[in-house]
Copies of this chain bind each other. A is one copy, B any other.
Amino acid sequence: MKITAVGTVAFDAIETPFGKTDKILGGAATYIGLSASVLDVDVELVSVVGGDFPKKYIELLSGKNIGIEGIEVIPDGKTFFWSGKYHNDMNSRDTLVTELNVLEGFNPKLPINAQNSEILLLGNLHPGVQLSVIEQVKDAKLVVLDTMNFWMDQTWDLLLKTIKKTNVLSINDSEARQLSGEYSLVKAAKKIHEMGPKYVIIKKGEHGALLFGEGEVFVAPALPLEDVFDPTGAGDSFVGGFVAYLAKEKDLSFNAMRNAVIVGSALASFSVEKFGTERIQEITTSDLNKRLKEFKQLTTFDIKL
């Protein structure tokens, strides 16, 4: 199955207790593409950058067989820039700078090649843009939506309209609570089901992820790590790996999604090991397979009572 993924391709400047970067390659679609490419699947990115965006970054993506035809370049525009600083616990962060630049008024026109995908992944972006992409990918069998609290605060009605048209919603625990008004994540998932999505993924960072759907629940662990160098892009790497597994297996069942959540968690666990996209760029299929064995080892038990 082919994947179309919309999201930001951007510059990030990141500060964590381990160090600080200048403007480096970032953005949801970038992490999604790099993560999906580890599974060697057909993924088309839809995004927009400015004339300041280095050619080498575009070549880096296309060199990994990531479809870049849908990345619009606005020569006299500037690329989206985000800067953030993580606190010592790595679970909370302050946004220092957000320059929307070319993202302002982004109105994607998808190339034919990106319109006929079976899987549509809507990375974190303005829900209006996400909605426009849903309308252009008419034959999608699965629409996966990633969003964040910012859009709940700013564009509530439009976000709900977008959520209604999606099959899988992927958000973090505090966002699930905000969206549903429920503290219990089980109740939150139920309310979100009623908003449209048949499946709900709740990401809990170092505590793993929950997948709800078809009256079942699956709990995936996070890999216990000595250090998290940079959490930026972990959620995007997760969801990129999630859709890539489904696309590779051509299977959209709940049981396939169990495995897909583990693949996403494994790719997210790599992503945080170095700054920015550095680590996820390096990962091979063999690295991924080794880590999947670690996840198996991590969760294996065998009770006979």
Report which A residues bind B (CB closer than 8 A). 88-89, 183-187, 204, 206-208, 210, 216-221, 224-228, 255, 258-259, 261-263, 285, 288-289, 292, 296-303, 305
Establish whether residues B303 and A186, one from each chain, have CB atoms under 8 Å apart when the complex forms: no
Q: CB within 8 A of A298: which of B218, B227, B289, B300?
A: B218
Establish whether residues B219 and A301, one from each chain, have CB atoms under 8 Å apart when the complex forms: no
Copies in the complex: 2
Establish whether residues B259 and A184, one from each chain, have CB atoms under 8 Å apart when the complex forms: no
Establish whether residues B219 and A208, one from each chain, have CB atoms under 8 Å apart when the complex forms: yes
Q: How far is the CA of A216 from the CA of B185 in the complex (A)?
A: 30
Which residue of the partner chain B has the closest CB to A298?
B219
Query: What is the predominant secondary structure among interface residues of chain A facing chain B?
Result: mixed
Which residue of the partner chain B has the closest CB to A300?
B258
User: Could you say which residues of chain B place their CB within 8 Å of the CB of A207?
Assistant: 204, 207-208
Establish whether residues A221 and B219, one from each chain, have CB atoms under 8 Å apart when the complex forms: yes
Q: How far is the CA of A219 from the CA of B269 in the complex (A)?
A: 15
User: Could you say which residues of chain B place their CB within 8 Å of the CB of A210?
Assistant: 224
**Pairs A–B under 8 Å by Cβ, sample size 23:** A184-B225, A184-B226, A185-B206, A186-B225, A186-B226, A187-B226, A207-B207, A207-B208, A210-B224, A216-B297, A217-B224, A218-B298, A218-B300, A219-B221, A219-B298, A219-B299, A220-B301, A258-B300, A258-B302, A259-B301, A292-B305, A296-B303, A299-B301
Q: How far is the CA of A217 from the CA of B263 in the complex (A)?
A: 19
| A-B contact sample (6 more), CB < 8 A, given A184-B227, A296-B303 | A218-B301, A258-B300, A259-B303, A261-B301, A263-B303, A299-B301
Q: How far is the CA of A227 from the CA of B226 in the complex (A)?
A: 32
Q: How far is the CA of A208 from the CA of B210 in the complex (A)?
A: 12
Which residue of the partner chain B has the closest CB to A90?
B183
Q: How far is the CA of A206 from the CA of B183 in the complex (A)?
A: 12
A183 to chain B, nearest CB (A): 6
Q: How far is the CA of A224 from the CA of B255 in the complex (A)?
A: 18
Q: How far is the CA of A301 from the CA of B300 in the complex (A)?
A: 10
Establish whether residues B301 and A258, one from each chain, have CB atoms under 8 Å apart when the complex forms: yes
A36 to chain B, nearest CB (A): 14
